[in-house]
Structure 1
Amino acid sequence: MDKEVIIEKINNFLVEEFEVEEDDIAPEAGLKETLELDSLDFVDLVVAIESNFGVKLVGEDFVNVKTLQDFYTLIEHKLS
């Protein structure tokens, strides 16, 4: 799966499942600030990634994830 497809799928479920405004989605946007994640939302995000991409994520995966671009890169690496 190429990077553009990954980004498109992530952005689509952010809008649909997390009610993020499309205008707020930018690679440099802060992940937590943009998604306004609480601990329950974080679990929902992990489940969404697992169901959309078939990869497992753990808390340690998110240590260095600050922006949406970091998040896209994390998923891209998990898929490779």
Structure 2
Amino acid sequence: MDKAAIIEKINDFLIDEFEVNGDDIQPDANLKDTLGLDSLDYVDLVVTVESNFGVKLGEADFVGIATFQNFYDLIENKVKAKQ
């Protein structure tokens, strides 16, 4: 799966799962603020990523994740490491 496909899949489930406007999802936008994430939402996000990509995410994975681009890079690296 290439980066563009990963980003598209992530954006699709974020729009569905978190009911956010797709126009608000920009690479440099703040992930937490844009999605309105609280601690329970992070659990939903982890479960959704795991079910969509088959990769595990832990609390440490989110250290330094501020923007959507950071999140895309994290998922891409996890997917590549799994292959």
Task: Mark yes or no: TM-score above 0.5.
Answer: yes
SS of the residue corresponding to residue 60 of structure 1 reads helix
Return the offset for 1:23. 1.1
Return the letter of the residue paired with 2:37.
L
In structure 2, what is the equivalent of residue 72 of structure 1?
A: 72
Unmatched runs of 5 consecutive residues or more in structure 2: none
Aligned pair count?
A: 80
Q: How many percent of aligned residue pairs carry the same amino acid?
A: 66
Return the letter of the residue paired with 1:58.
G
Question: How large is the Cα RMSD of the aligned pairs?
Answer: 0.5
Q: TM-score, normalized by length of structure 2? A: 0.95
Return the offset for 1:64. 1.0
What are the superposed Cα offsets for residues 22-67 of structure 1, whole Å, 9 maximum, x if unpaired? 1101000001011110111110000000000000000000001110
Q: TM-score, normalized by length of structure 1? A: 0.98
CA separation in 1, counterparts of 2:42 and 2:3? Answer: 23
CA separation in 2, counterparts of 1:23 and 1:8? Answer: 13
CA separation in 2, counterparts of 1:59 and 1:26? Answer: 23
SS of the residue corresponding to residue 51 of structure 2 reads helix
Unmatched runs of 5 consecutive residues or more in structure 1: none
CA separation in 2, counterparts of 1:76 and 1:34? Answer: 21
Return the offset for 1:71. 0.1
* Higher RCO, 1 vs 2 (CA within 8 Å, ≥6 residues apart): 1
CA separation in 2, counterparts of 1:15 and 1:66? Answer: 18
In structure 2, what is the equivalent of residue 28 of structure 1?
A: 28
